[in-house]
Structure 1
Amino acid sequence: MTFSIVARSGPAFGIAVASKFLAVGAMVPAAEAGAGAVATQADANLRYRPQGLALLRTGLQSADVVAGLVATDRQRAHRQLGVVGPEGLGATYTGEECLDWAGGTVGDGYAIQGNILTGPEVIEAMESAWLSSPELAIDRRLVAVLAAGDAAGGDRRGRQSAALYVVSPGAGYGGGSDVACDLRVDDHPDPVGELRRLLDVHELFFGTPDPDTLLDLSGELQEEVQSLVTAHGYASLDIWAGVENLEERLVPGKIDPVVLARLRVGDVRNKA
């Protein structure tokens, strides 16, 4: 009922998943910075998530984590599982009673798996997308992999939900957590497309400013910015940015062009 990838990129771990299943993001993914990532699907065993992360914390390799999880599970023939740890190959498992087509593949730092798919071409397209896009940030790369699987046929029953979950040390909002991205599309006719749109919005509000593009907030630009902020009814750029949920893009003495564009687009001085 599901196709997914669990992967590692530098210190980050992530999972992207799509399915003809309501709110698949509530069931499949689990990840912990420094430990690894787990996806449980088919007849999902939600205990695999905390148990898998606990095993990864001990330093076990991905294949040993998978072996440990399924060894005592009497329903393992119906399970599908993907695991990736801090180093080495990912690991995947498909029980012999998972519904066709079902299977997976692994490589250095990734595991891809799916069941009730249109065929093995889904997994092949996902792996090709992962291997051909090392230059992308992990969140973009994972969504590209999901889109490739979807385009290749995906879940043969249709589409309903998708999710993206990424962790990296200190990458959460305000540096207060390790959850860099946690996006879910629970019920939608084009869940992968909608997930990509949500990632664009996430990047707008929570992305890190590119130091090479920052503009000095001085002279005429400073005057323009203050004029725009005042026209919006706020006393300072900080206050306006907080209201607009752009506070993560503020840099003292500088302005992110993304913030400036947003401020100019909403220029109330040009409204009748």
Structure 2
Amino acid sequence: MARQHKKAQVVKSKEPLAHTYSIIARDPVAGEMAVGVQSHWFSAGTAVPWAEAGVGVVATQSFVNKSFGVRGLALLKEGKSPEEALDILLADDEGREVRQVALLDAQGRVAAHTGSQCIRYAGHLTGKQFSVQANMMLHPKVWQAMAKAFETSAGKPLAERVLLAMEAAEKEGGDIRGKQSAALVVVPDKAGSQPWNDKTIDLRVDDHAHPLEELARLLKIYRAYEHMNNGDEAMEQGQMAEAVAEYSKAQAMYPQNQEMKYWHAITLANNGNVNGALKLLKEVYRKDKKWRDLTSRLPEVGMLMLPEKELVRVLALE
């Protein structure tokens, strides 16, 4: 009973109960760093993952001390190693034995802590440029399964490898309470001149019956939009064949998305391929005629530059 009383003294009611599994990792080739998390707790993505381009990533969980995220990154930015930063974070935390936290820096060094009072099954495993950690798991093999999945997926993009590790955790039983939320954050190895763009991937599922499946769906959509952006760039450079190939990849990955098809069509029209644009626009207009109304508004802001005759064809399309 004394132990329970002590825990009550150090755990504040406002601290999220993010009993969960997570992974922090770095891609040794690209240098990008990631945090992935899944929990049976609402919006774990607002509490567990912390990341800063060129600095590192942190996962803070169990009875979450959110300050570990901000302070951990600051310590890494000062030049502290993950181990040094971890020691500092834990030194003045009365709740250290109910905490679970892991840090990774831009060099790929890692450090992790699982407090002795984290609810079993709880533990962590650090490897080459990654760490996996879990608490309140159904079985004690969850974090080992995560590590194996990550290590055997070398060569794939980092985000997909992190997702595979979390899926492996779920296959081992995951959180004893079930599942509710998930998140995935990826940052590059170097900070850019526009820090607001430094999170290359920032996906969250706050409340869902199957959060990892939903996270995988969002990641696939993200990849589809990457192809759209590549297509836009190719179009701007006059590389029509490459642009069409990229747009086709995007639409194949996300065929139900009409907006991708629409802006593909508008880009084709602006580059002189009106017949190609009409084919796509016809499909879009059939789904919802409001897209034609939008098309009529584009010329006035310079987003659709067509001769009057061609513009009439585009707007008269049924």
| TM-score w.r.t. length of structure 1 | 0.79
Distance 1:194 1:117 in 2: 21
Contact 1:4–1:146 at 8 Å: present in 2 too? yes
Structure 2 residue 117 is the aligned partner of structure 1 residue 97 = yes
Tell me the alpha carbon deviations over residues 52-104 of structure 1, each in whole angstroms, 9 at most, x when there is no partner: 00011122221222111111111101100011111243111001110000000
Structure 2 residue 98 is the aligned partner of structure 1 residue 78 = yes
When the two structures are aligned, how many residues end up with a matched partner?
241
> Which of the numbers 148, 164, 168 marks the counterpart of 2:184?
164
Q: Which residue of 2 aligns with 1:63?
A: 83
Q: Which residue of 1 aligns with 2:21?
A: 3
TM-align CA RMSD: 3.1
Distance 2:281 2:209 in 1: 42
* Range 14-23 or range 81-90, more displaced: 81-90
User: What's the offset of the Cα at 1:202?
Assistant: 1.7
Contact 1:39–1:81 at 8 Å: present in 2 too? yes
Q: Which residue of 2 aligns with 1:46?
A: 66
Gaps in structure 1 of 5+ consecutive residues:
241-267
Tell me the alpha carbon deviations over residues 252-271 of structure 1, each in whole angstroms, 9 at most, x when there is no partner: xxxxxxxxxxxxxxxx99x9
Tell me the alpha carbon deviations over residues 185-239 of structure 1, each in whole angstroms, 9 at most, x when there is no partner: 1111111111101111122224553889825779xx9354333366554369x95
CA gap 1:167/1:133 in 2 versus in 1, 3 angstroms? same
Identical positions, percent? 33
Distance 1:203 1:167 in 2: 15
Instruction: Give the greater-gyration-radius structure (CA).
Output: 2
Gaps in structure 2 of 5+ consecutive residues:
1-18, 245-267, 286-291, 305-313
CA gap 1:175/1:36 in 2 versus in 1, 3 angstroms? closer
* Higher strand fraction (1 or 2): 1
| TM-score w.r.t. length of structure 2 | 0.68
Contact 1:171–1:180 at 8 Å: present in 2 too? no
The alignment partner of 1:145 has SS state of helix
CA gap 1:74/1:175 in 2 versus in 1, 3 angstroms? closer
Q: Which one-letter code corresponds to 1:227 in the other structure? A: L
The alignment partner of 1:183 has SS state of strand
Distance 1:170 1:230 in 2: 41
* Higher helix fraction (1 or 2): 2
The alignment partner of 1:156 has SS state of coil
User: What's the offset of the Cα at 1:171?
Assistant: 9.5
The within-5 A match list for 1:1-272 is 1-9=19-27, 10-168=30-188, 177-207=197-227, 209=230, 214-215=242-243, 222-228=273-279, 231=282, 233=292, 234=295, 239=303
Contact 2:54–2:191 at 8 Å: present in 1 too? no
Distance 1:193 1:230 in 2: 31
Distance 1:230 1:192 in 2: 34
Q: Which structure exhibits the higher relative contact order, with contacts defined as CA atoms closer than 8 Å and separated by 6 or more residues?
A: 1
The alignment partner of 1:209 has SS state of helix
The alignment partner of 2:200 has SS state of strand
Q: Which residue of 1 aligns with 2:256?
A: none
User: What's the offset of the Cα at 1:176?
Assistant: 5.7
